[in-house]
Amino acid sequence: MVVGFILSILHISVNFFWVLFEMNILVLNYEFPPLGGGGGIAAYKLAKGWVDLGHKVDYITSWYPGLKQYEQVDGIDVHRVKVLGRQELSTATMLSMVSYPVAAYRKAMQLAKTKQFDWINTHFAVPTGPAGVWTANALKIPNILSLHGGDIFDPSKKNSPHKKVYFRRVVKWVLDSADKVVAQSSNTRQNAIHYYNFHQPIQIIPLPYTPVEFATASRIDLQLEESKKYLISVGRLVKRKDYETLIGALSMLEGQDIELLILGEGPELSSLEKTAARLKVDARVRFPGFVDEEKKFQYLQNADIYVLSSLHEGFGIVLQEAMQVGLPIVSTNIGGQTDFLAERNNALLVPPKEPELMAEAIDHLLRNAELRSGMAIKNREAISKFDVKTICLRYLDLVGSH
């Protein structure tokens, strides 16, 4: 007990030190909102958290037409470098990813002429990883690599790094070159070990989450019907999300009083619309497209069940959002989400690509109001585990232990 008390005091002292000692932090990530997906949002929240703790943060990301090449966002100095072939805000092309590291490294070297950085936080082994390695070597400062899951393993992509020899070699080099490696989940850590033969310590630090404030809206405001049950899923319309299985599950749920809302945009929209028509549920599936944060949370708050149908998730920020509003969850059981979703505790878990089992889980929840209510309470309570300040301090502790 005495040892535990002493360690607690020491940890508090370390945290207090990091609050007082101002550092210059360089964040490298080819994504930054509104460009990209969850990895960009997570890195932005970390960067903002460090700014709030009194540190200075420069963030080098990709430029896209209509965005400023430099601006300050919530105290973060955001630098956007031009890349080749970026065609959409939501998804990156291979050419844009390949061209980013060189452009980011050049920008980092330019900034280093007037700023003395203390350490680097590199997000994604690919495509960002090489930029982090080059910059850390040139400036002789620590590089903490954050793995997001899909950067080392994505079963839906033919060019997933774990499937291609040349990509595996790049990822292995990036992992071996990092001073510290952070995985957002135990699944991502296991994939790094299994596919890249990496056996150095990997810290598991979940993605930070800041509860979103939003104006409440009624179902009428959103043109939803009071008498119906609404399933909801949020994310880019890409193959990895496997919305086809979700639409298939909907077709197996009897009655016209159950509808599905899929929020997001992406290349699979046309295919998904055809799937809904083929399964004769097109009148029961809505694709509102990209919506702003407030409207997204209004939809979430008015839904009945959140469904994650992904083939794989490195973590699942959308699940944190669902937890904030107290939604019960049905989710696939492969990926980082299994670190914080527990069967019949705050979610029902099913294997990927099994529409029948997904339909059964959804039906079970819809018929069991007590189970839904219990999950809602537990999810609202669990969201506090992802406090931004706590997670930012865990990164700073890694820097201190270097």
Ordered by where they begin, the domains of the chain are 21-208+387-400 (3.40.50.2000), 229-385 (3.40.50.2000)
CA atoms of 55 and 19, how far apart (whole Å): 8
Q: What are phi and psi of 2, to 5 degrees?
A: -65, -45
- CA gap 272, 276 in Å, rounded: 6
**Count of CB atoms within 10 A of residue 280's CB?**
9
pLDDT single digits (tens) 252-311: 998 779 999 999 999 999 999 999 999 999 999 999 999 999 999 999 999 999 999 999
d(CA 399, CA 179): 9
Cβ-contact 219, 303 below 8 angstroms:
no
For residue 11, pLDDT beyond 90:
no
Report the C-alpha gap between 373 and 109 in whole angstroms. Answer: 53
The predicted-structure confidence for 199-232, as pLDDT tens digits, reads as follows 999 999 999 999 999 999 999 999 999 999 999 9
Query: pLDDT grade, residue 1 (50/70/90)?
Result: very low
Burial degree of 213 (CB within 10 A; 0-12, 13-18, 19+): exposed
Measured between alpha carbons, how far is residue 284 from residues 274, 303, 386 in Å?
13, 14, 34
Cβ(356)–Cβ(364) under 8 Å? Answer: no
Token pair for residue 117?
């950085």
Residues in Cβ contact with 156 at an 8 Å cutoff, skipping those fewer than 6 apart: 238, 239, 240, 242, 311, 312
At residue 364, the pLDDT reads 96
Read off the tokens for 191: 């994939």
Residues 53-73 have pLDDT tens digits of 999 999 999 999 999 999 999
pLDDT of 2 strictly over 70: no
- Give me the mean pLDDT over the 125-130 stretch: 96
pLDDT band at 37 (very low <50, low <70, confident <90, very high): confident
HSE, side-chain direction, 13 A CA sphere, residue 361: 28
Per the CB < 8 A criterion, the answer to whether 198 and 152 are in contact is no
User: Exposed, middle or buried by CB within 10 Å (0-12, 13-18, 19+), for 40?
Assistant: buried
Question: What is the pLDDT averaged over residues 307-334?
Answer: 95
What angle do the packed helices 38-52 and 317-324 form, to 10 degrees? 70
Q: How confident is the model at residue 12 (pLDDT cuts 50, 70, 90)?
A: very low
Under the banding of pLDDT at 50, 70 and 90, the label for residue 85 is confident
Give the confidence band of 402 by pLDDT, cuts at 50, 70, 90: low
Decide if 182 contacts 371 (C-beta within 8 A).
no
DSSP assignment letter at 211? P
The secondary structure of the chain in percent helix, strand, coil, rounded to multiples of 5, reads 45, 20, 35
pLDDT of residue 10: 42
Q: At what angle do helices 243-251 and 269-278 cross, to 10 degrees?
A: 20
pLDDT of residue 401: 65
CA distances from 192 to 176, 181, 210, 226 (A): 11, 10, 28, 46
CA distance linking residue 113 with residue 135, whole number of Å:
13
Q: What percent of the chain has pLDDT over 90?
A: 82
Start-to-end CA span in the chain (Å): 28
